Chain A
Amino acid sequence: MPCVSAEKLCFSYGGKSVVEDITFTVNTGETWAVVGRNGAGKSTLIKCLCGLLSPVRGNVSIDGIDITKMPPKESAKRIAYVPQGTNRTMPPFTVREYVGMALFPYNTGFMGRLSDDNKKCVDDALALTDACHLADRSMNTLSGGEFQTALIAGAVAQSTPFLLLDEPTTHLDPFHKENIRQVIERVHKERGTAVVTVTHDVNFALSTHKNILAVINGKVFFNGTKDEFCVNAVDNLEKIFSIKFRGIDGGKNVCFYETAE
């Protein structure tokens, strides 16, 4: 079964260790939330997973092949990455142009010309992410929620079995947060795409993902299913974020909020 796995992964920025000895596997069709505090190493971890950063020690492999040794176009056919939507200095590409650019690993046309198949792929991605109405808008005129949707549409057009998202709902209002949540769920259900989401929004993490990887100071604190996590959810969350939490509904669909007590 195809999988992305990190083996004893270590990474450091200028001597400061950020990811320490993380071993973790994502199988086809799974959904994972990577939770932890700011600076815990979540983003660094998924940058290593998609080959943006080369680990200092350990390795990341897709289907058993070391990702840093894979030709870029080959890894791009397997893993798509949506960076944090905070950097919105995007040139005035139309959304359709931006999504079309994602077909780079498949595209062999002169000067990036898209074939009819490519164009259909773009339309499908726009439809699946509910972004058809944005298609002819310019990327630099989109609102925060629309921008995030466009970024995800691009990653969906890349047609990969694995999708990595870095903080997709940070900075979004509840309405757009729910939108993004539905988009992610739809991509997972209809395409069978495995999703790994980095987030510090615990309700989003627990409502949308079947598995949880919790990271504290670059080390794995919890690695397992959401149900296992929820057995002791309040406790776990308090350890991860070092503040008090309270669950509203004792059952499975819990809503946690931070409390001062």
Chain B
Amino acid sequence: MLFIPQKRFVWILTLIALSITAIAILPFIGMELMSVGRILTDSFHRDIFIAIRLPRVLTAFLAGGGLAVCGLVFQGLFRNPMADPYTLGVASGASFGAAAVILSGAAGTALLGVPATAIGALCGAFLSFALVLAFSGAANRPTDRAAPSPHTILLAGIAVSFFFSSLLMFLQYMSDTRESFHIVRWLMGGVDVFGYRPLLTMLPFAAAGLILTAANVTALDHFLTGEDIAQTRGVRVRLSRGLLLCAASITVGGIVSVCGPVCFVGMMIPHLCRGVFGASHRILLPACLMAGGVFLSICDTFARTVIAPAEIPVGVITALLGGPFLVWVSRKK
């Protein structure tokens, strides 16, 4: 896939069309194929369509788009193609939070309609983010106005990630079979939601994160050219980086709390989009949002139909499809 600036417009239109098609068509596909006529005449099918299938597709779309944008932000900030939404230990922090709630036996409860596991995951995500900032700030050199460097933050992220993974293993070791299975299932990630509550839980986080990202999108462009150029062009490197990290963490926290750690979307989609749209984040941001949304909602449709009436966790599908696909695309280059 070669990047041709003049063709970007066509690609964006294609993505918009794909997004609309995905949201409009995918809810009809499921264990049972529905037709428009049946939904209009049969109230049982209408209920399934409106209360189960539509919110599920919308949740998958928002989660996929959000994760792809966060991947884009992290890859840009760290100038590292390996970075993904979970690089900073956000996923392991969230997993630890959710596991702690499951172990405490509060998994079935909810606060203001938000499930306790989601709250636990959210707290874990933010805790890991705060730890990363604290660690990388401590390693900061006083003479360097732009510090801490991306590498410092990346290292802190990996350290925090391992820290929470170990805590999670400890919790799993201490738990009984039922709880352990519950934790493992949560870790696989999935969009098996019912109704609009989960969507509404993550929407404010995703929206806040996306708006904050959009507001700093030019800074993200500058980070790619190197921090020296960025700073001499008037970018407040430290502030912008902090805001972008915060934006991505809020978004990921919100999404992970509902869907669990759905991997690979955040790493793969930005790569594909860069190949098509070039490097400018002004175009990449909406492109990733739509491409990620389309990708995850299609994956989720697979997940709920392939071995119907049973379901596969969508995280399994994304990795199964995504891995070979990414290798294929990079070979083609």
Contact = CB atoms under 8 A, between A and B. Distances in A.
Contacts of A52: 145-146, 228, 231-232
Given A90-B224, A105-B234, 10 more contacts: A52-B145, A52-B231, A53-B143, A72-B236, A91-B225, A93-B224, A93-B225, A94-B278, A97-B278, A104-B234
Interface stretch (B51-59, B149-157, B213-221, B292-300): B213-221
A104 to B, nearest CB: 5
A111 interface: yes
A107 to B, nearest CB: 7
B185 interface: no
B224 A91 contact: yes
Given A83-B226, A94-B5, A101-B225, A112 B282 contact: yes
Contacts of B228: 47, 52, 81, 83
A97 B143 CA distance: 32
Interface string B1-37: 0010100000000000000000000000000000000
A93 B145 contact: no
Contacts of A47: 228
Nearest to A13: B143
Contact of A101 (B3, B218, B285): B218
B144 interface: yes
A169 interface: no
Interface of A: 11, 13, 47, 50-54, 56, 68, 72-77, 79-81, 83, 87, 89-94, 97-98, 101-102, 104-105, 107, 111-113, 136, 138, 154, 158
Nearest to B282: A111
B229 A73 contact: no
Interface in B216-257: 217-218, 221-222, 224-226, 228-229, 231-236
B231 A93 contact: no
Interface in B181-235: 214-215, 217-218, 221-222, 224-226, 228-229, 231-235
A261 B280 CA distance: 54
B279 interface: yes
A102 B232 CA distance: 9
Given A75-B234, A92-B3, A93-B279, A68 B221 contact: no
A138 B278 contact: yes
Given A87-B226, A104-B235, A111 B218 contact: yes
A180 B143 CA distance: 33
B304 interface: no
Given A98-B225, A138-B278, A104 B233 contact: yes
A138 B3 contact: yes
B226 A101 contact: no
Nearest to A77: B234
B278 A92 contact: yes
Nearest to B237: A72
Interface string B284-295: 010000000000
Contacts of A98: 225
Given A76-B233, A87-B226, A94-B5, A104 B144 contact: no
A80 B5 contact: no
Contacts of B224: 90-91, 93
